[in-house]
Amino acid sequence: MDSSLPSRPHRTAFLLSQLGALSSSRFAEKTREIGLTPSDAGVLRLLGRTPGLSQRSLAEGLGAVPSRVVALIDSLQARGLVERVRSSTDRRNYELRLTAEGVRVLGMLRGIAETHEAELLAPLTAEQSVQLGILLARLAAAHGVSRDLHQETAGPSPRPESAMP
């Protein structure tokens, strides 16, 4: 073993969890300043990348239950950021698209995300930041974690034992 390398840090998973929580909290503060939640930001990012998604496809992409996505889209639509357009290929479905205001807000979110990342990684050199990104991407891929979106990992609430068959 190379003795020039420090011994493996202890409690790496705990530190990752702590930094993830810190990062999420700071990002939520920054998005709140422009009237959005992190969930709103995730939906805008996904629709910006893949315009025309159905609500069902959006729910699947987010790993969320469809009823939660309906409420998110209703809220974004009421604020003029997203529109529902009847699908030209399947009249039973609606396609979701960003409005001009939604595109503008998405641009603001990109700036917020870039600033947020720069602040979080400021203690590292450019080389260390690149290496950290590579290692985290490798871990994310190995564990099936999306590099682009937070997915709801809790799943549906377990049924009470009295409701079990």
Contact 31, 40 (CB under 8 A): yes
Q: What pLDDT band is residue 64 in, cutting at 50, 70 and 90? A: confident
| Collapsed DSSP state (helix, strand, coil) of residue 64 | coil
DSSP E strands, the chain: 82-86, 94-98
Is pLDDT above 70 for 162? no
Task: Report the predicted TM-score, pTM, of the whole model to 2 decimal places.
Answer: 0.78
Higher pLDDT, 141 or 9: 141
The number of residues making up the chain comes to: 165
Domains defined along the chain, listed by start: 26-145 (1.10.10.10)
